[in-house]
Amino acid sequence: MAKRKLELVVAGLIIDESKRALLVKHKKLNKWLPPGGHIKENETPDDALHREIREEVGIEVELLNVVKIPERGNIKRQLAVPFYVNVHSVGDHDHCCFYYLCRPRGKSELKVNESEIEAARWFSKEEIEKSREIGEDVKNLVALALEFIKPQQLPFP
């Protein structure tokens, strides 16, 4: 049996100070998802996530869960640690997705990139739980993100 193509991607669970999650309605997949996308050649996952979020919704984010150790020896840069990773199907191929906890930096207004996404909006936990449009996998991801995030991480810096 032929192996399915596997691509590396990132997604950001962006939680604001009101504990709302930002989701985008992806045009190609017709699903509400966390913003994100493919990691390009010679790009770190952190850089890919910042780029994809800027491209899709026009905001800047701070990645949480950056573990800092002394930068000695051969360490060039320290990156955020994903809070969840999975492999899922996107039709004709699979994605290995690294999910990161994020918070918005500043109070940027969402600017939807209509070539990639249909809509973007902030959802409360209750709205996500009650929604028939949001898949169970995304509902579970948001619930997990809200468990992982610490109250001191939510206020704007």
Q: What is the mean pLDDT of residues 7-23?
A: 95
- Residue 17's SS3 state is coil
CATH number, domain containing residue 105? 3.90.79.10
150 residue type, one letter: K
With a threshold of 0.85, does the pTM exceed it?
yes
List the one residue out of 69, 49, 68 whose CA is nearest residue 60. Answer: 49
Percent of the chain with pLDDT strictly greater than 70: 94
Helix segments in the chain, DSSP class H: 45-57, 125-130, 136-148
pLDDT at 71: 77
User: Tens digit of pLDDT for each residue in 80-121?
Assistant: 999 999 999 988 999 999 999 999 998 768 999 999 899 999
Which range of residues forms the domain containing residue 89? Answer: 6-153
Which DSSP state fits 59?
-
In a domain, 82, yes or no: yes
In a domain, 1, yes or no: no
Q: What is the largest CA-CA distance in the chain?
A: 51
130 residue type, one letter: K
In a domain, 62, yes or no: yes
In a domain, 22, yes or no: yes
DSSP state letters, 23-40: EEEETTTTEEE-SEEEPP
In a domain, 78, yes or no: yes
Number of domains into which the chain is organized: 1
Cβ-count burial of 89 within 10 angstroms (0-12 exposed, 13-18 middle, 19+ buried)?
exposed
- Contact criterion met (CB below 8 Å) for 28 and 38: no
- Contact criterion met (CB below 8 Å) for 24 and 119: yes
